Amino acid sequence: MELRRKQHRSSPWHRHRTHLTVLCDACNPLGDPVNTNKRFDAAKIFGHPDVIAEAPWFGLEQEYTLLQKDTKWPLGWPQGGFPRPQGPYYCGVGAEKAFGRDIVDAHYKACLYAGINICGVNAEVMPGQWEFQVGPSIGIAAADELWVARYILERVAELAGVIVSFDPKPIPVSFLVIGMEQELTLIIGITTKSMREEGGYEAIQKAIEKLRLRHEEHIAGYGEGNERRLTGHHETADISTFSWGVAKRGVSIRVGRDTAKDGKGYFEDRRPGSNMDPYVVTSMIAETTILWKP
């Protein structure tokens, strides 16, 4: 990110910067990574010559919920009650539909200022639920940028006195009765050099088959509480079953219609929960699809 700043020294924003946001590896006094430092092992995978040659791109869609601090109830919800059924909230506008936009917009601007490769935000299907997108970014940079973007989001929400929840199912009740989805994901768009070139669809299909063979292993690293989300309902795949399809949402892996038409492009892994560790998941995908020889 510092390299990006150096390229924009002529911008008026640069002249007013008085600090830097620094992301560091956490190590013990012996220099070994602490248990929570998942970046260390991810860097080994992304530093492998075969992975570097494939230049994997990741696009990360991070969903989250804004909660009222005192009640832990989503913004815009009646105290102790439930909102109207979904429909008007997704990408909605208006004070009766969008709740917390001041936080969302401030976060977006702060990420741009910090040099994060953030590319969009939108309101989601549940009141108080939002999403931002990072990428496409190459290799470990995607996880770095998402990690810092999460930090900035929590700092902005802190100023507003609001809690950020990355739980994949933040309210422990079923919304089948009132017709509302609350399965929070972190969808990952993936493409490699081989997938972006002519004939890339074959490389995509090979990668998907590898992911199928390691489905249980990936699920284990795709976030805590994910079994509460991947039920096979509300446009999710069942956690125990691997599936894929073109232009389908209720599958483990989705291939875009344009990718299938063009015979090259990218695909999405729709299994990760919104609280997943981006270093674990992106490096696992790179290792499985590029390095693993079944």
Residue 99 pLDDT greater than 60, yes or no = yes
Residue 126 pLDDT greater than 70, yes or no = yes
C-alpha dist (Å) from residue 242 to 3, 26, 32, 116, 208: 40, 35, 36, 33, 10
Q: Could you tell me the pTM of the whole model?
A: 0.88
In this predicted model, what pLDDT tens digit does every residue of 20-36 receive, in sequence order?
788 998 999 999 999 99
More reliable by pLDDT, 83 or 135: 135
More reliable by pLDDT, 87 or 146: 146
In this predicted model, what pLDDT tens digit does every residue of 249-269 receive, in sequence order?
889 999 999 999 999 999 999
* CA count, 13 A, side-chain hemisphere, 239: 17
User: Which range (40-49, 87-96, 171-180, 279-288) has the least confidence?
Assistant: 171-180
Residue 94: count other Cβ atoms within 10 Å of its Cβ: 9
| Phi/psi of residue 58, nearest 5 degrees | -130, 135
> Of 105, 115, 85, which is closest to residue 97 (Cα–Cα)?
85
pLDDT recorded at residue 17 = 58
Query: Do β-strands 253-255 and 244-246 pair in parallel, antiparallel, or remain unpaired?
Result: parallel
Residue 13 pLDDT greater than 90, yes or no = no
> Of 164, 166, 162, 157, which is closest to residue 184 (Cα–Cα)?
166
Residue 47 pLDDT greater than 70, yes or no = yes
C-alpha to C-alpha distance for 204 and 233, rounded to whole angstroms: 26
> Of 132, 124, 154, 151, which is closest to residue 62 (Cα–Cα)?
132
Q: 272 and 187 in contact (C-beta within 8 Å)?
A: yes
pLDDT recorded at residue 177 = 41
| Phi/psi of residue 225, nearest 5 degrees | 75, 15
In this predicted model, what pLDDT tens digit does every residue of 100-123 receive, in sequence order?
999 999 999 999 999 999 999 999
C-alpha to C-alpha distance for 143 and 156, rounded to whole angstroms: 20
pLDDT recorded at residue 81 = 81
Cα–Cα–Cα angle for 205, 211, 213, rounded to 5 degrees:
105
pLDDT recorded at residue 83 = 79
In total, the chain counts a number of residues equal to 294
Residue 50 pLDDT greater than 50, yes or no = yes
| Phi/psi of residue 59, nearest 5 degrees | -120, 120
1 pLDDT tier (thresholds 50, 70, 90): very low
pLDDT recorded at residue 14 = 53
C-alpha to C-alpha distance for 177 and 260, rounded to whole angstroms: 36
pLDDT recorded at residue 163 = 97
2 pLDDT tier (thresholds 50, 70, 90): very low
Average pLDDT over residues 42-66: 96
